[in-house]
Amino acid sequence: MGILFFILMVFFTKVDRRPYQQMDYYHATMSHLDTINWKQGRGNNWKAGWAKVNITPDSPVNLAGYSPRGKYEFVQDSSFLRTIILNSGDIHVAFVNFELMIVHPYLEKRIREKIREAGLKIDLLYFTTTHTHSGMGGYMPGLVGKFAFGGYNEELVSFLEEKSLEALKIAHSKLDASIIVFQKSLTKDLVANRLKETDPVDPFIRQLTFINSKGQKATLLSYSAHSTILNKKFMGLSGDYPHYLSQKLEEDYDLAMFAAGTVGSHKPVVNGKQIEDVIQYSEQVFESINKNLLDSDTLDQGPISFATLPLQLRKAHYRTGKNIRIRPWVFKLLVGDSNAHFDMVLLGKTLLVSSSGEISGVFMEKWENYARENGLNLIVSCFNGGYIGYITPDKYYDEKLYETMEMNWYGPYNGAYFDEIMMKIIEKAATLF
């Protein structure tokens, strides 16, 4: 009994429920946000360049998503990396998008080092993914990565490094005078709240279109339905519905980049789990873009402004019960670095924010309305090279739900914490244009 008690004390502790406003991490983040230095280019005209490269491995690698599935047995869809570089004067911002589930902090670090070694002029790397649950694993070191996310494959990580640099060089070489158009479209009955059926959803597609002097077009779009249509037993490599949506858009655009939006607690509304259902759903989303356009706005050219906000958090709260969690040192041993941060880019009056938290779409209506009150369009995405689990409404923290128990890693009160941060980011950005 003594040995058992000792083991329990070493590996487990109680949940810390002190209000987040009383915690040092809260004051550190808010102080940083108050004094954050937004970098702003000296130019007033925009140039854009883009590229798409195939990142399908030569031989099968482990899949990531759901539970350990082993190596994919066939290639349903090739996987792609897309990048859009935007330049204004001396500033270069690169939007880098993978057909992967997440950009793990280790992969993000390796790519940054590769770009720095190459001497390529990039001031901000704005990472996003399609969040496919049928894509490659193999880029996540650590025990959790090994058992749940396809393990670690050095050859694959090196390959993704090289392909990232290749895509960025191509995009850089194609920089050309461009205009940018913001659009917002409504999807009807295509997304639902999987956490609580009666809760709000974010049914909108938000989109930036880059049009260069030759009339060529690229688009970056964000949507909040999880890329989880395919069955858990599906053993092919696939980008799920974002792959087919991008493919459909690229009949008209030179490049279509799908950035997973506030996908936390949001699921696609589909009739089945087969490839034909994936294709049908992508076509329905595509039709919504064309038929249900609510807003379109050509952005005023001017300086690009950007900033990165390091995010301080309470110590890890991976819970095994309502008031019991494993100790933070055990969590870090299992999961590794979280690299928690926000990336922000302001283009004219359009604000893009990328989060390390998998944010629930229930927050978007409030944030978007507040952005509009402050004269801004708002696009929010996740999977920015950091990962801290789900950000859900605090009222559900103690319910026995996957998103609130297994995947709410740094709660409680992260819903309110993120809400406060996002409102303040919007306020700050509104003072810059």
Q: What is the pLDDT, as a whole number, of residue 370?
A: 98
Q: What is the pLDDT, as a whole number, of residue 208?
A: 98
Q: What is the pLDDT, as a whole number, of residue 67?
A: 75
Q: For 340-396, where are the alpha helices, taking DSSP H only?
A: 364-373
Q: What is the pLDDT, as a whole number, of residue 161?
A: 97
Q: Is residue 284 helix, strand or coil?
A: helix
Q: Determine whether 189 is exposed, middle or buried from the number of CB atoms within 10 Å of its CB (0-12, 13-18, 19+).
A: exposed
91-98 vs 124-129, strand pairing mode: parallel
Q: What is the pLDDT, as a whole number, of residue 11?
A: 85
Q: Is the pTM of this model over 0.85?
A: yes
Q: What is the pLDDT, as a whole number, of residue 210?
A: 98
Q: Please name the helix (run of DSSP H) or strand (run of DSSP E) that holds residue 217, with its range, or none.
A: strand 217-223
Q: What is the pLDDT, as a whole number, of residue 255?
A: 98
- The CA angle 129-133-134, to the nearest 5 degrees, is 105
Count of residues in the chain: 433
- Mean pLDDT, each 10-residue run in order, the chain (433 residues): 76 92 96 94 91 97 87 97 95 97 95 96 97 94 78 94 98 97 96 93 97 98 97 94 98 98 96 96 96 90 94 92 90 89 96 97 97 97 95 94 91 96 97 86
Q: What is the pLDDT, as a whole number, of residue 191?
A: 97
